[in-house]
Structures are given as structure tokens and as C-alpha cells.
Structure 1
Amino acid sequence: MKNKKKKWFFIIGIILIAWVGVIFYFGSRNTQTSYNQSGAVYEFFKSLDNTLDITNKEWFINLESFLKQWWFGTDRVAGMSVLRKSAHFGIYMLLGFISSLFTFVYCRKYLISFLMGISFPTMIAAIDEYNQGFHDRGSSLHDVMIDLSGAVTGTLFLFLIFLIVFIIKHFKKKRNFENDKRI
């Protein structure tokens, strides 16, 4: 590996390991501690909503309804449950992004990077759900599926960035080529 590639590989690898550590840390919290932590976050978002009045906006109502239907199959779900599942989604979206980027920096292969961006987070999600059974919490395949959807979203987001960079490089190259032809 070249020095610059080694440096990025090392940095992203450390971030990846740290993020997996964060996931296992939160997964090892007992039921009461977990609910207290999400309760504090829920109260923060409620106070933020009191200031910004987000929950009455049409886009938010549509998004919340979509997520409730997708994740729970019904609209009759407490806001705290939606917040907890959103945390699952977001945490694994970031893990999908990081693990896909880590793999791409290592091997520069899009397909392998895409597959690792989905499969590694899903494996971590399954291990984390299994681990929660040892900490007075329930394990849920449903949560693994939400985590998987987050990993897919994070991986697709990285590939969207790759696509944008590719298009920008393509048009820059094309413009430079046309400028060279004029000279």
C-alpha cells in the first residue's frame, strides 16, 4: 500500500472499530438504562420541537407515518418507539457508510465495497441483538432488519457520493479536453 492509502486505511479502520465499540456499548446497557438514555434524547427532541415546531409540518407527519408503517405495520406507535428505531437505523446507516468506505480504500472494488457495507453491519447487528439477551433486554430480528435497512442506506449514500465525484471528474476532464483542442 502507498503511504497515503495506508494512512486513510488506518484512520478509517480506527473509526470503524470505535463505532462498532459504541454500538456494543449501547447494546450492553440494561433495559432501564437504555430507556433512560432514550428518554433523555426524546425529551431533548421534544424541547427542540417546542422551539422549531417541526412535528406539525406536513413533511414530518408524512415521514413519521411512513416510518411507523414500515417499521411497525401500524400508525399507533408511541414517539419513543419511533425514536429508538430511528436510532437503530441511523447508527447502522453510519456503520454501513464507514465499512463500505473502509473496504473501498483497501481494495478499490465497488462491488466488494458495496457488499461489505451491507454484510458487515448486518453481522454486527445480529451479534448485538444476541448480546442484548444477556443484558436483560429482548433480542429482535425486526431490529436487525431495521439495522440492515440503515446499512443499505448508508452504503447507497456513499455510492451516491462516488457517483457525484465521478460525474464532476468526467465533466472537468471533458472541459479540459475541449480547452486543449482550442489551443
Structure 2
Amino acid sequence: MHTNQNHKTTYRIITALLLILWVAFIFSNSMDNADASTLKSGAVLALLRRIFGSEGAALTEFIVRKTAHFTEFAIEGVLLFLVVKGYTTRPLRFLGWPLLTGLMTALTDETIQLFSLGRSSQVTDVWIDFAGVVTGTLLAFLVQAIVRRCKKS
């Protein structure tokens, strides 16, 4: 029994640390000035165009940036779910907490951009970020539910 409690504690610490590091990564991207942000997006765009060849020609920096927003926050949604899962066997009852936390992260992220040279804050990015959090959280919940059902079978 004592070992099980140690595993729970270790799980809680690891998931919380991963979440903190991930949010720090998100915020660090928002602290980049406009030129640095454009360089990063341009490098990702060039890489994707090389990978996808002629099909990648339709990709734009706008698409890369918005997809990056969504993806960063979807990963945060998964991590938020995992943190909640560390404290309850019924995470569905507490899904509001990761969603609220993700929304607050999105609002903070866009606020940080107000203070980054050449950057701006956009309401549409908050919605994209929040959609990522919702998607990541629900995806993690569905995977957990499927795994739980498979174990019962």
C-alpha cells in the first residue's frame, strides 16, 4: 500500500512539473519579439514545405502560427487532464478545472504579447488556444476511458 502512495506522489510531481515546463515554454514563445517570432515561424514553414513538397506550397506563415497556437494548447490540455487524473479516479467530474486553467493560460499568453516588441494580442488567438485546450483535454479523457474499458474486458 505504501508503494502505491509513493507512485501516486511521483505521478503528481512529474505531471505538475511537465505542465509547469510546458506553460513556461508557451510563455517564452510569447516573449519573443516580432522578428524572432517571424524567424521561428519561417523556419517551421520552410521545413514543412520541404516535407510536403508541392502540396506544401499552400501553407502560409499564418497557418503555421495558428496551428502552433492550437497545438501548444492541446498539449497543455492533455497535461492538465493528467494532473487532475492524479488526484481523482473520476476526472470527468473535474474537467472544469483544466478548462478554466487553460483559458487563463491563453489570456495570460496573449497579455504577455502586449509587452513584446512588435507583437500584439488577439482575441481570436485566445479562442484558438482555448479550442486547443478543450481538444487536448477531451482527447486525453477519451484515451483514458478507452484504456479503462480495455482493462475491464
TM-score by length of 2: 0.90
The separation in 2 between residues aligned to 1:31 and 1:38, in whole angstroms, is 10
1:133 equivalent to 2:136? Answer no
1:168 equivalent to 2:153? Answer no
1:2 equivalent to 2:5? Answer yes
Match of 2:133 among 145, 151, 156: 151
> How far does the alpha carbon of each residue in 1:121-179 deviate from its partner, in whole angstroms, 9 at most, with x for none?
110110110111011211011100000100111011111111211221221xxxxxxxx
Task: Work out which of the two has the higher radius of gyration on C-alpha atoms and give 1 or 2.
Answer: 1
Runs of 4 or more off by more than 6 Å in structure 1?
none
Question: Which residue in the other structure is 1:110 paired with?
Answer: 91
The answer to whether the Cα contact below 8 Å between 1:8 and 1:105 also exists between their aligned partners in 2 is yes
- Please list, as runs of the form range in 1=range in 2, the aligned pairs for 1:1-183 lying within 5 A after superposition: 2-50=5-53, 54-55=55-56, 79-136=60-117, 137-171=119-153
The separation in 1 between residues aligned to 2:127 and 2:28, in whole angstroms, is 20
Shift, 1:79, TM fit: 1.4
Kindly indicate whether structure 1 or structure 2 has the higher relative contact order, using CA contacts under 8 Å at least 6 residues apart: 2
The separation in 1 between residues aligned to 2:148 and 2:89, in whole angstroms, is 14
SS in 1 for 2:86: helix
The separation in 2 between residues aligned to 1:109 and 1:141, in whole angstroms, is 33
SS in 2 for 1:20: helix
SS in 2 for 1:135: coil
Structure 1: where are the runs of 5+ without partners?
A: 57-63, 65-77, 172-183
Most deviating of 147-156 and 101-110: 101-110
- Name the aligned partner's letter for residue 142 of structure 2: L
RMSD: 1.8
- Name the aligned partner's letter for residue 31 of structure 2: S
- Name the aligned partner's letter for residue 3 of structure 1: N
- Name the aligned partner's letter for residue 50 of structure 2: S
Shift, 1:3, TM fit: 0.7
Shift, 1:110, TM fit: 1.6
**Identical amino acids, percent of aligned pairs:** 32
TM-score by length of 1: 0.76
